[in-house]
Amino acid sequence: KCSKDDEKFEQGQVIPYGNIELSPAAGVLNYGQASLCNGLFEGTKAYRKEDGRLLLFRPDQNALRMKLGAERMCMPCPSVDQFVEALKQTALANKRWIPPPGKGSLYMRPLLLGTGAVLGIAPAPEYTFLVYGSPVGNYFKGCSAPLNLYVEEEFSRSSRGGTGGVKAISNYGQVLNALGRARSRGFSDVLYLDSANKKYLEEASGCNIFLVKGNVISTPATNGTILAGVTRRSIIEIARDLGYQVEERDIAVDELIEADEAFCTGTAVVVSPVGSITYQDKRIEFRTGDGCVCRGLCSNLVGIQRGLIEDKKGWTIEI
Ligand code: PMP
């Protein structure tokens, strides 16, 4: 817990999973003062290694992203050390539930909430930071199950000057409608366009998008309307190390037609190939399967996350 005035979070504790109590006037319920951060899910999960120890993937990056979100939402935020320590404690306390190597991992979700009561429009006087965890199976099947995306033109995910660039809980409520509609038509996810022009690619509901053309890999720039994914940043670095040219820029939806490959990155999907993208009732197909650029990128990333290949970048923390 932390009060608005002193901005320092007191030492927390590990308690059994259960409901939390909230005032009906809590800032989170009335003014959406909430920031969430997918602490450890797939790309940022706690993995059990062969030797029984656990691995966390770049939790400091999640901590920094929550800090940005907290600034945007007028909330105090735990320090990077407090954040990482909370993840370590949650992983250790749940160790017996973590599946064996290669069979799954522990999903951990840190939440930062305005829990103090507030009536007029203002930041809440008190805040709560918590992390909960759950064991999960492998969401993706060896980087191979292709996604099929639907380009959404009616609803936007975020707009310039809004909160799309931070992981605010309120960003997710507004995609449920478009996502549900796309899923009922057999699509795996929605690909959003920029709200001003409906021309440039942004991201999907829970992952970032990349296009591949020859040796060039492009992804939308993080200009405040898309989430700067930890997986996105890691893949950009891995791709450059492997000799690809990576561009972060505005990508017009018309460029989809010229791409050889498309793939999505995120904590949940890790690096998943995109088999097709449907735009204005035209289905654009992409190369998938063995030999794809995204396969190589995926196995490099997963190798580091699971401790199977040497982590030269110091991205993992062993506990
Ligand atoms: N965009 C959105 C909207 C997301 O919810 C996520 C998942 N956190 C991502 C991108 C990917 O971010 P990361 O790689 O950090 O999981």
**Rounded to 5 degrees, what are φ and ψ at 175?**
-100, -10
What's the pLDDT score for residue 318?
A: 92
| 147-152/189-193 β-pairing | parallel
CA distance 56 to 54: 7
Ligand 1 pocket, residue 231 CB under 6 Å: yes
Residue 38: the pLDDT is 64
**Ligand 1 neighbourhood includes 45 CB (under 6 angstroms):** no
Q: Is 59 in the pocket of ligand 1 (CB under 6 A)?
A: no
pLDDT at position 143: 56
Q: Closest residue (by CA) to atom 9 of ligand 1?
A: 207
Atom 7 (ligand 1) nearest CA: 206
Please state, as a whole number, how many other Cβ atoms lie within 10 Å of the Cβ of residue 28.
Answer: 24
Going from the Cα of 228 to the center of ligand 1, the distance in angstroms, rounded, reads 7
Instruction: Pick the closest to residue 187 from 267, 276, 269, 265 (CA basis).
Output: 276
Confirm or reject: Cβ of 78 under 6 Å from ligand 1.
no
Q: Please give the DSSP secondary-structure letter assigned to residue 255.
A: G
* Cross-strand bridge partners of residue 284: 277
Q: What is the pLDDT along the chain (319 residues), one digit of tens a residue?
A: 998 877 799 889 999 999 999 999 999 888 888 887 765 544 457 788 888 899 999 999 999 999 999 999 999 999 999 999 999 999 999 999 888 887 888 989 999 999 999 999 999 999 999 999 888 876 655 555 799 999 999 999 998 999 999 998 888 888 999 999 999 999 999 999 999 999 999 999 999 999 999 999 999 999 899 999 999 999 999 999 999 999 999 999 999 999 999 999 998 888 999 999 999 989 999 999 888 999 999 999 989 988 889 999 999 999 9
Is 313 an active-site residue? no
- Which atom of ligand 1 is least distant from the CA of 42? 16
The pLDDT assigned to 43 comes to: 46
Residues 230, 267: contact at Cβ < 8 Å? yes
For a pocket test of ligand 1, which of 35, 36, 37, 38 has the largest count of ligand atoms closer than 8 A to its C-beta? 38
Within the chain, residue ranges assigned H as helices are: 27-31, 59-72, 80-93, 170-173, 176-184, 230-241, 293-305
SS3 call for 5: coil
What confidence score (pLDDT) does residue 141 get? 53
Left (φ > 0), alpha (ψ -120 to 50) or beta: where does 174 sit? alpha
Whole-number pLDDT of residue 41: 46
Residue with the two structure tokens 């991205």:
315
Q: Which amino acid is it at 319?
A: I
Q: Which of 49, 167, 198, 313 is catalytic?
A: 167
CB atoms within 10 A of CB 229: 25
E strand residue ranges, the chain:
2-3, 34-36, 47-48, 54-57, 105-114, 126-136, 147-152, 189-193, 201-204, 208-213, 216-220, 245-249, 261-266, 270-279, 282-285, 316-318
Looking from the CA of residue 38, the nearest atom of ligand 1 is 8
Atom of ligand 1 nearest to the CA of 61: 15
- Beta-bridge partner residues of 317: 56
What ipTM did this prediction achieve? 0.99
Q: Is the CB of 207 under 6 A from ligand 1?
A: yes
Cα 230 to Cα 233: distance, rounded to the nearest angstrom: 5
Cβ count within 10 A of residue 18: 6
- Residues in a beta bridge with 133: 108
**Closest residue (by CA) to atom 5 of ligand 1?**
206
All residues at 6 or more sequence positions from 221 whose CB lies less than 8 Å from its CB, including other chains: 248, 249, 250
28 within ligand 1 shell (Cβ under 6 A): no
Choose which residue among 267, 302, 305, 315 to substitute to test ligand 1 binding: the one with the highest number of ligand atoms within 8 A of its C-beta. 267
**What's the pLDDT at 36?**
77
* 96 torsion bin: left (phi>0), alpha (psi -120 to 50), beta (else): alpha
- pLDDT of 152 reads 93
Euclidean distance between CA atoms 153 and 192, whole angstroms: 7
The rounded distance, in Å, linking the Cα atoms of 28 and 118 is 10
